Amino acid sequence: MKKYKAILFDLDGTLTESGIGITKSVQQALERMGKPEPDLDKLRVFVGPPLKEQFMKYAEFTAEEADKAIAYFRERYHVTGVYENAVYDGIEDMLKALKEAGYVLAVASSKPEILVNQVLEYFHLEHYFTEKVGSEMDGVRSRKSEVVEEALLRLGLKDDREHVLMVGDKEHDVFGAREAGMNCVAVTWGYGTAEELAESHPMLTINHPKELVDYLI
């Protein structure tokens, strides 16, 4: 009997390489806010965490300033940035194998849910997932643990969470899963640094999607 019934996947940095679209849109927002950042690599920290939280942390914005920066971010991201994206090698083979093995698959992302669905449909991945959960556009349900709890609710697994596994690329995924009473597998191909992943102590760290298949099947 399998230990896990369902697997929740983060989106940005786990299923898709979305960094360029996000960082360019953050760069535009910071420019509009009078805090330009020419080095896109420095803005990789925006991939994954809730945007408002990261704008406040990175640029020392107030909550109101962060909301304004998010509006500038969306002007570019919703039109162009969302499509500056690619599915990581091996992801679709992994999803196909896990689904065929009987696992229930879902997405649990801090990204607004409307964009989660947009990305999955654009790359023709939506059919692998029973539920696709994200945050609300107004920032409600942006913390990872809140997204995970909503996914568990929709899947009918709130009382069976020990049989649900989270997979993500950032410490936020590990901490969010732990807060929800679940294990997390960290992936090294995304935007989390080796140091942050090591310090967050995931149950397992993998270097290629096939390793998750090998572990679970």
Checking if the pLDDT of 95 tops 90, the result is: yes
Do residue 153 and residue 107 come from a single domain? Answer: yes
Query: For the domain that residue 132 is a member of, what is the CATH number?
Result: 3.40.50.1000
1 part of a folded domain? no
Do residue 128 and residue 211 come from a single domain? Answer: yes
Checking if the pLDDT of 127 tops 60, the result is: yes
E-strand stretches of 10-97: none
Q: What is the DSSP letter of 42?
A: G
Do residue 61 and residue 111 come from a single domain? Answer: no
Do residue 131 and residue 24 come from a single domain? Answer: no
Which pLDDT belongs to residue 34?
97
Which pLDDT belongs to residue 49?
84
135 part of a folded domain? yes
71 part of a folded domain? yes
How sure is the predictor about 153, in pLDDT bands with cuts at 50, 70 and 90?
Answer: very high
Q: 50-60, pLDDT tens digit by residue?
A: 899 999 999 99
Last residue of a domain, one of 83, 117, 139: 83
Q: Report the pLDDT averaged over residues 148-163.
A: 97
Q: What is the mean pLDDT of the chain?
A: 95
pTM value? Answer: 0.91
Do residue 75 and residue 149 come from a single domain? Answer: no
66 part of a folded domain? yes
Beta-strand pair 6-9/104-112:
parallel
Q: Report the pLDDT averaged over residues 100-119.
A: 96
Checking if the pLDDT of 1 tops 60, the result is: no
Q: In the beta sheet, which residues pair with residue 183?
A: 165
Checking if the pLDDT of 215 tops 70, the result is: yes
Checking if the pLDDT of 139 tops 80, the result is: no
168 part of a folded domain? yes
Number of structural domains found in the chain = 2
Which pLDDT belongs to residue 138?
81
Do residue 140 and residue 156 come from a single domain? Answer: yes
Dist. CA 201–CA 102, nearest whole Å: 28
Domain that includes residue 25, residue range: 19-83
Q: 65-87, pLDDT tens digit by residue?
A: 999 999 999 999 999 999 999 99
Dist. CA 174–CA 144, nearest whole Å: 9
The residues carrying an active-site annotation are 10
Do residue 33 and residue 100 come from a single domain? Answer: no
58 part of a folded domain? yes
Tokens in use for 125? 């991945």
Do residue 179 and residue 166 come from a single domain? Answer: yes
Do residue 111 and residue 70 come from a single domain? Answer: no
Please tell me the total number of residues recorded for the chain in this structure: 217
Q: Report the pLDDT averaged over residues 151-167.
A: 97
Do residue 75 and residue 138 come from a single domain? Answer: no
Last residue of a domain, one of 61, 83, 105: 83
Which pLDDT belongs to residue 142?
79
Nearest-10 Cα torsion for 149, 137, 94, 13:
-110
Q: What's the Cα-to-Cα distance from 129 to each of 11, 116, 163, 173, 191, rounded to whole Å?
A: 12, 12, 17, 18, 23
Last residue of a domain, one of 65, 83, 101: 83
Query: For the domain that residue 25 is a member of, what is the CATH number?
Result: 1.10.150.240
